[in-house]
Amino acid sequence: MLTFFAFVLAGLGTLGIGLWLRFDPAVSELMALRGDEENLNLICYLLIAAGAIMGFIGFLGCCGAWNQSQCMLITFFLVLIVVCCLEMACAIFAYTHQETIKKYIDNSMYDVVHVQYSRNDDYAQIFDRIQTEFQCCGVKSYRDWLHSSWGKEASSRAEIGIGTSAVGRVPSSCCNVEGLQSYPTTCGVTFDKLELHTYEEFLNINGCSDALYNSAYNNLQLVISLCVLICSCQILGMFLSVMLCCWVNTRKKAKNEAKA
């Protein structure tokens, strides 16, 4: 009974993962950068549904064990096999595609910096939140803004001996505490008179790609660990359901022989 109850808890844990991913700001903002909110919501709702189903199946296992019902125990065992295989497949896929996830993050962020930031206010707000929350700037560094359409919108002028390719502004969300507090004019958006590296002391110099990936990676590792833990509980549940089913069958045979 305790094992089947643990399976109910595992189902609730899966449901919790789905809810967590659905409302986690870092994951939501990452998907929003590529306009994949619908895909994210679909995955989260599938996890929520799977967790609810697992909890219900665990409840059936408890009832089967309590009532010594072979039918319920066999159903519990067969459904567990399917669910366990699906979870293992998801965990293996997530683990083996970590580099793909990193490339996805990089491509998404480059697209926002180079193109979408100047065209879409929603993307701009999302990226500003990322830069502020993670205290970062650009994809790999603040220099990425030199190649953005938004940075080129500024009426940059080259001083004597300064090339225009190194002149460009950055959003205010790139500024560090010193830049926000002590720079005499609006920090970031007014950096269009000198080479950008001149203002480095006022900027968060690290890019956002690694920061966002590390956040997603930590979440991914936790999800994988929880999947492995839940799957282990499920394998134990399958083993015990088979043992219990055999015990029920043996007991029924013994009763029939005693009556005969």
pLDDT, tens digit, 9 for 90 and up, residues 123-142: 899 899 999 999 999 999 99
Instruction: Tell me: pLDDT of 162 over 60.
Output: no
Of the listed ranges 9-13, 178-182, 207-211, the least confidently predicted one is 9-13
pLDDT greater than 60 at residue 160? no
Burial class (CB in 10 A: 0-12, 13-18, 19+), 30: buried
Residues linked to residue 167 through DSSP beta bridges, in sequence order:
195
pLDDT digits (tens, 9 = 90+) for 28-45: 666 565 555 555 666 677
pLDDT for the residue 84: 76
Q: Is 141 helix (H, G, I), strand (E, B) or coil?
A: strand
DSSP conformation letters of 161-202:
T--GGGB----GGGB-HHHHHH-SS-TTTT--SSBGGGGGGG
Other CB atoms within a 10 A radius of the CB of residue 131 amount to: 24
- Please give the residue that has the higher pLDDT: either 238 or 208: 208
Tell me which of 160 and 74 has the higher pLDDT. Answer: 74
**Which letter does DSSP use for residue 159 in this model?**
P
Please check the confidence at residue 161 and state whether its pLDDT lies above 50.
Answer: no
